Amino acid sequence: MEQQNNEINDEINLYDYWKVLVKRKNVFLSIFLVPLGIAIIISLILPRYYRGESEITIPAIAVPNMVNLIGNIDEAKKVKIFANNSGAIKNVLVSIPKKSTDKIIITIDAKTADILPQAFKDIFGYINNIPEIKDEIGKIQEQNDFKIKKLIEVKKANLVFLNDLLDMIKKRQLMAISINPADLVKRDSELSLEIKNLQLAEVKAFILGPSSITKQPTDAKIKQIIIITGLLSLMAGIFVVFFLNYIDLMKARENK
């Protein structure tokens, strides 16, 4: 019986709240719909942007150092990097993928999708020409040059030894040997491959990956603004309605 009474009281209270809202529906709808309508209109007027992302692999330099050296791409940097297209570029973000030690992500928002491929080339060229990064690359290339030089010397010595060994075998000057010529040939191939890899690493200090571009302008932030505005105006409308009702109740008690 008590439970039924509680349910009836809850229904009455909810109905009372509903009556308050209906009584002041014009106030409630004005506070709720006007800001929401303004937010929707502004969102339709504001330009939308296409978003592109590309990966840059940097096997030679520490990723955090790279991000710090690039820094924030502000308006002045955008003009310097993108030249005539700088006005069409809204944002440029440099970030580090989770659990990555040799990659950074470049994200660019632009008014049109067709300028994004060139924009990625422009910022890639800019990164390669940052003085501190050029110095780091120069040091790495010097180290690679030294390694290549030493490997070439070892390769030459290995080939000389192999030729001498084959010549001695051909002349039957060695009756028994503990070194297999095939091992020397294999070693020569391994050294050639190692030298080739170092030469490629020297040329490609950074590797620009393929870019992914959204087919439609990004509107996630616009939707977020509309939703937040709707929720805030809804709560504001409810608050104002019940606040006005509270004032009326206080006035009625004073009159009594």
Mode of pairing for the β-strands spanning 212-213 and 50-57:
antiparallel
d(CA 164, CA 159): 8
d(CA 109, CA 218): 9
pLDDT higher than 60, residue 156: yes
Contact 244, 24 (CB under 8 A): yes
Confidence of residue 152 (pLDDT cuts 50, 70, 90): very high
pLDDT digits (tens, 9 = 90+) for 241-255: 888 888 888 877 777
d(CA 15, CA 9): 10
d(CA 213, CA 207): 19
Burial of 77 (0-12, 13-18, 19+ CB in 10 A): middle
Least confident of 70-74, 124-128, 129-133, 157-161: 129-133
Predicted pLDDT of residue 8:
45
Predicted pLDDT of residue 1:
46
Which residues, including other chains, have CB under 8 Å from residue 202's CB and lie 6 or more apart?
A: 141, 144, 145, 148
- Phi-psi sector, 104: left (phi>0), alpha (psi -120 to 50), beta: beta
pTM of the model: 0.52
Q: For the chain, give the mean pLDDT.
A: 79
Higher pLDDT, residue 128 or 26: 26
Confidence of residue 236 (pLDDT cuts 50, 70, 90): very high
Confidence of residue 49 (pLDDT cuts 50, 70, 90): confident
Q: Which amino acid is at 212?
A: S
Domain residue spans of the chain: 2-45+221-255, 50-130+209-214, 135-203
pLDDT higher than 50, residue 4: no
pLDDT digits (tens, 9 = 90+) for 166-223: 887 777 665 556 677 788 888 889 999 988 888 776 555 566 666 677 666 666 667 7
d(CA 5, CA 184): 97
pLDDT higher than 90, residue 150: yes
- Asked whether the CA dihedral 33, 34, 37, 38 is positive or negative, the reply is negative
Please report, rounded to a whole number, the percentage of residues in the chain having pLDDT higher than 90: 7
Confidence of residue 3 (pLDDT cuts 50, 70, 90): very low
**CATH dotted code for 50-130+209-214:** 3.30.70
pLDDT higher than 50, residue 64: yes
Cα–Cα nearest to 70, from 98, 52, 93: 93
